[in-house]
Structure 1
Amino acid sequence: MSASNVVDVHTFLDARPIGRQQWRVIVLGLLILVLDGFDTMMMGFIAPALIQDWGLQRQVLGPLMMSGLVGLSLGSLCAGPLADRLGRRWVIILSVAFFGFCSLACAFAQDLTMLTLARLLTGVGLGATMPNITTLLAECAPLRRRSTLVTSTWCGFGLGGALGGLLSEYLIEDYGWQAVFVAGGVLPLLLAVALLALLPESLRFMIQAGKPQARIVAAINALAPGTADARTQAISTEHSDLGNARQGLGSVLKGPYRLGSLMIWLAMFAGFLNLYLLSNWLPITAQSAGMTLSQAALIGAVLQLGGAVGDFSVGLKMDRWEQNNVVSLMFAGSAAMSLLIAIWAGHAWALYVLVFSLGYFMMSANAGCFALATNFYPTAIRATGVSWVFGIGRTGAILGAGAGALMMGWNWSITHIFLFLCLPSLIAVIAIQCKRLHALKGPSTTAVSNATDDES
């Protein structure tokens, strides 16, 4: 077979400019993450109205806040191995439809128990969606632009969270808090229909999984018309130290991947602890500090807007400079902003500026961890690796939501809360630097992966 009849997907995708199909995946991924951000963050905005409507104490919302996060963790941990076996496309489509139906169910909950169960199931769908759309996007992107595209798409999560704050104020005032759940359910169902028609499967996965020749040829020609025919042999020269190891969690924790996986998990745990503590409890904390319901919703939206800007920009930095150092710098900036807010919490305008800056550093650090994971793992275990980064991160989110409930019960002030937030960010800095230093000790998968990204 001549060289012209061989297509190496690893170099084929990396050598080409971003085409129409890849842009389609980027746009669809952005829309998915906008809706994910809206659904994931909405409880923080609904909570004050729910407290007033049902006559609840703030601290009793702890199980409700944590239920969605438990679901997110479960969905993330289970969906990645499933996607590495069955493919990314169908897992994404079914997950989007599932969390849409469950969000609608939340609108009809009659008590706190029913609402908590519905949010748990919504979280399962959300948790299955996010790591797999991140994986699919990474596998469609050229290596030289992978971090930029992954983190830029994740700005949709921050935009969705901000949209949740802005729309919640309008919907709750005119239609009640149930209307927010209706919006968070109908929109994903409409998007699932669009995904069914437009979302492609990962070409890297199709070759890795040995899919039929006709499907692979069609996928190659969708990216570059006329490139492949029935005689074309599609291969992948992607570096991997897995050999014939079975896909799954064991591969993620195998030799050269072990320390890097553990350190990304720790950083993601710390980053999500901070993010979800603030996302769920910042509006309530701001209201208890004297702000109106409208001002409390606005400051929550400001946090998410700062995150959207950070998500968009951090990938540009990671594709230009050493990735681990960039992510470490973002976590350090998050710690610095938390400290400044603790000092100047009484100054209203300074608080808005600092919360925006905190959102920028905090969410760009988290998005940077996702990008690190997509670059760290090969195609055979990428969905598993990325989904476990999400899943472990979600356990931090659960702890953050629960810690917020305790802080409300202890009547912690804004100053106390933001002083606490410095600690997890500093732990994340140490974890990412340990990963970087381990890669420098000798040849490893991490070093090879990062070197490949830099060279491309």
Structure 2
Amino acid sequence: MADALILGRSTPRAGALTVGLCCLVTLIEGFDLQSAGVVAPRLVSIFNLTPGQLGLFFSASTMGLLIGAAFGGRLSDRVGRKKSLIVSVALFGLMSIFTGLANSFEVLLLARLLTGVGLGAALPNLIALVAESTAPERRASAVALLYAGLPAGGALASLFTLVGAESHHWSTIFITGGVAPLLVVPLIWAWLPHSSTASAKQGGGRVRSVPTALFGEGRAATTLILWLAFVLGLLVLYLLLNWLPSLVIARGMSRADASWVQFVFNLGSALGSTATGLLMDRWGKAATAALVFSASVAALILIAFVPSNLSALVFAGFFLGVALAGTQAVLYALAPSCYPADVLGTGVGAAVSMGRFGSVLGPMLAGTLVGAGRSDVEVLVALIPILMISGGAATILSLRIRSA
């Protein structure tokens, strides 16, 4: 199996504009995704949430992400990336505002589910657009830069707590996260070029079925390995994204301390993703995958056993963010390499959607463990074998792509 995507023919200016707009959208996506974790301690007291209900709240948006990614990627292959992206961005903006207006736990769950649908539908479009608009020798760096927008947006969400911007009402962060994408929609409409794939479809290109796109032409093993890596990798990531503040507070730290740890986690994630992309373009995906997944295991061990003081937790949180973001950058850079251009959205969307099973299971797993009386150390240690399996799958897939 070869590195299947054969594009990167856009002009440098158009390519840079596409990458810039897509990174802006992922920055806003990251802000919205992290908002739930930032306000979770306040929601517990306002809505009297149990640990199980808190897990459902976190999982609602990721369930929506699963649904949205499955349909958004396929839709982008059929009607074009630009149209699909505009609809997706508008949807998650409106539904984020709806979240901020919720007055009951049931409405809160529905709003987060629909927000996730929009977020999930946008992500395969963003990855496909960036992959299609950059040259092969810079593609891994571009996709990693795109992914860096997610933790960078999460860092901005954490700053809301640090500067007290959401101190008057918990809804402020969700309404802000909803207005921002609605302001970006006109920019996408005016400046984002139409995808070459959509143009090819209009010219009468053959449309492959979903089973053929994912499992035909020798792609079955590649697709299954990719899915395994995504499911387990995102299980670990989303558990930490949503539960890290609560786990830090469980150590006797203050809410402000927990916000600092989450802030440096996201800051490290943005830097780690960007650095991983550069390493992939220089060293190759296989060596980089082995490095960043090994570093992530070490980081989990460090944050599990580090002393309960702010300086130590900030250092450990930063290191964990750098390493874990590297694993995600590897996965998102691998996905476009597995499928040809005319089914790129379908393939990437399916991988992202499958990964959302892990995103749903992660917060629920943490809620179950915490509800059963497990300590923060036990929760973190339980993630190590899961991460090792994901890393093994990513490394094997990297070698398959390189040797094809």
Give the shorter-chain TM-score range: over 0.9
Residue matched to 1:431? 393
Contact map agreement 2:63 2:357 (CA 8 A) in 1: yes
Contact map agreement 1:69 1:394 (CA 8 A) in 2: yes
Offset at residue 432 of structure 1 (A): 2.1
> Where does the alignment leave 5 or more consecutive residues of structure 1 unmatched?
1-8, 213-242, 440-445, 449-456
> Is structure 2 residue 271 aligned with structure 1 residue 297?
no
The separation in 1 between residues aligned to 2:93 and 2:271, in whole angstroms, is: 27
Aligned with 1:355 (options 317, 320, 330): 317
Aligned with 2:201 (options 197, 209, 214): 209
Contact map agreement 1:276 1:401 (CA 8 A) in 2: yes
Matches within 5 A, 1:365-404: 365-404=327-366
> Is structure 2 residue 96 aligned with structure 1 residue 134?
no
Q: Secondary structure at the match of 1:411?
A: coil
The separation in 1 between residues aligned to 2:161 and 2:194, in whole angstroms, is: 35
Residue matched to 1:57? 50
The separation in 2 between residues aligned to 1:56 and 1:392, in whole angstroms, is: 28
Offset at residue 54 of structure 1 (A): 2.8
Aligned with 2:155 (options 139, 162, 171): 162
> Is structure 2 residue 298 aligned with structure 1 residue 336?
yes
Count how many residue pairs are aligned between Structure 1 and Structure 2. 400
> Is structure 2 residue 245 aligned with structure 1 residue 252?
no
Offset at residue 336 of structure 1 (A): 1.3
Contact map agreement 2:6 2:341 (CA 8 A) in 1: no
The separation in 1 between residues aligned to 2:48 and 2:198, in whole angstroms, is: 53
Q: Secondary structure at the match of 1:113?
A: helix
When Rg is computed on C-alpha atoms for both structures, the one with the higher figure is: 1
Instruction: Note the alpha carbon deviations across 1:76-108, whole angstroms, 9 max, x for none.
Output: 011111111111111001100010000111111
The separation in 1 between residues aligned to 2:383 and 2:374, in whole angstroms, is: 13
Residue matched to 2:30? 37
Instruction: Note the alpha carbon deviations across 1:411-430, whole angstroms, 9 max, x for none.
Output: 32221122112111100122
Q: Secondary structure at the match of 2:241?
A: helix
Aligned with 1:310 (options 272, 279, 297): 272
Q: Secondary structure at the match of 1:300?
A: helix
Q: Secondary structure at the match of 2:253?
A: coil
Residue 358 and residue 96 in structure 1: after superposition, are their counterparts in 2 closer, same or farther (change >3 A)? same
Instruction: Note the alpha carbon deviations across 1:29-65, whole angstroms, 9 max, x for none.
Output: 1110011001111111110011122333333212111
Q: Secondary structure at the match of 2:297?
A: helix
The separation in 2 between residues aligned to 1:206 and 1:84, in whole angstroms, is: 7
Offset at residue 171 of structure 1 (A): 5.1
Contact map agreement 2:266 2:321 (CA 8 A) in 1: yes
Instruction: Note the alpha carbon deviations across 1:379-426, whole angstroms, 9 max, x for none.
Output: 011111111111111110100010111122123222112211211110
Task: Compute the TM-score of the two structures, normalised by the length of structure 2.
Answer: 0.94
The separation in 1 between residues aligned to 2:400 and 2:12, in whole angstroms, is: 36
Q: Secondary structure at the match of 1:412?
A: coil
Q: Secondary structure at the match of 1:256?
A: coil
The separation in 2 between residues aligned to 1:437 and 1:27, in whole angstroms, is: 30
Residue matched to 1:228? none
The separation in 2 between residues aligned to 1:159 and 1:198, in whole angstroms, is: 23
Q: Which amino acid aligns with 2:251?
A: A
Offset at residue 447 of structure 1 (A): 4.1
Aligned with 2:144 (options 148, 151, 154): 151
Residue matched to 1:218? none
Instruction: Note the alpha carbon deviations across 1:309-360, whole angstroms, 9 max, x for none.
Output: 0111111111112212312321121111111222224354222112111111
The separation in 2 between residues aligned to 1:393 and 1:345, in whole angstroms, is: 32
The separation in 2 between residues aligned to 1:192 and 1:210, in whole angstroms, is: 24
Contact map agreement 1:92 1:132 (CA 8 A) in 2: yes
The separation in 1 between residues aligned to 2:143 and 2:169, in whole angstroms, is: 35
Moved more, 427-436 or 297-306: 427-436
The separation in 1 between residues aligned to 2:100 and 2:6, in whole angstroms, is: 46
Q: Which amino acid aligns with 1:209?
A: K
The separation in 1 between residues aligned to 2:135 and 2:305, in whole angstroms, is: 44
Q: Which amino acid aligns with 1:80?
A: G
Q: Secondary structure at the match of 2:374?
A: coil
Instruction: Note the alpha carbon deviations across 1:262-284, whole angstroms, 9 max, x for none.
Output: 11111111111111101111111
Residue matched to 1:66? 59
Residue 94 and residue 311 in structure 1: after superposition, are their counterparts in 2 closer, same or farther (change >3 A)? same
> Is structure 2 residue 14 aligned with structure 1 residue 21?
yes
Residue 190 and residue 171 in structure 1: after superposition, are their counterparts in 2 closer, same or farther (change >3 A)? farther
Contact map agreement 1:80 1:384 (CA 8 A) in 2: yes
Contact map agreement 2:286 2:396 (CA 8 A) in 1: no
Residue matched to 1:226? none
